[in-house]
Structure 1
Amino acid sequence: MAETARPESSVLGEPGDRGTLTIRDRVAQKLVLEATRGTPGVRHHAAGMDKLTGRELPRARVLVSGKRVRAKVDIAIEWPGSLSVIGTAVRENVTTQLQSVSGLDVDGVDVAIVSVLPASTKCDAGRKVR
Structure 2
Amino acid sequence: MADEPGEPRDDDVATRGRLTLKDRVAERIATRAALDTHGVRSHSGAVGRLVGRDLPRTHVAVAGDRIRAEVDIAVAWSHPLPAVAAAVHHNVTAALTDLAGLHVDGVTVRIDRIVVDDDVRPERTVL
What TM-score do you get using the length of structure 2 for normalisation?
0.84
Asked if residue 26 in structure 1 is aligned to residue 24 in structure 2, the reply is yes
Q: What is the alpha-carbon root mean square deviation over aligned residues? A: 2.0
Query: Which residue of the partner structure matches residue 98 of structure 1?
Result: 96
Distance apart, 1:53 and its partner CA: 1.5
**Amino acid across the alignment from 2:4:** P
Greater displacement, 40-49 / 17-26: 17-26
Aligned CA distance change for structure 1 residues 26 and 16 (closer, same or farther; 3 Å): farther
2:62 maps to which of 61, 64, 67: 64
Aligned CA distance change for structure 1 residues 79 and 122 (closer, same or farther; 3 Å): closer
Partner of 1:11, secondary structure, is coil
Aligned CA distance change for structure 1 residues 34 and 87 (closer, same or farther; 3 Å): same
Write out per-residue CA displacement over residues 83-130 of structure 1, whole angstroms, 9 at most, x where no aligned residue: 10000000000000011111100000000001111233179xxxxxxx
Aligned CA distance change for structure 1 residues 83 and 20 (closer, same or farther; 3 Å): same
Aligned CA distance change for structure 1 residues 64 and 93 (closer, same or farther; 3 Å): same
| Number of equivalenced pairs | 118
Runs of at least 5 residues in structure 2 that lack an aligned partner in the other structure: 122-127
Distance apart, 1:62 and its partner CA: 0.5
What is the CA–CA distance in structure 1 between the aligned matches of 2:12 and 2:77, rounded to whole Å?
A: 48
> Which structure: larger Rg?
1
| Sequence identity percentage | 38
**Amino acid across the alignment from 1:64:** V
Runs of at least 5 residues in structure 1 that lack an aligned partner in the other structure: 1-5, 124-130
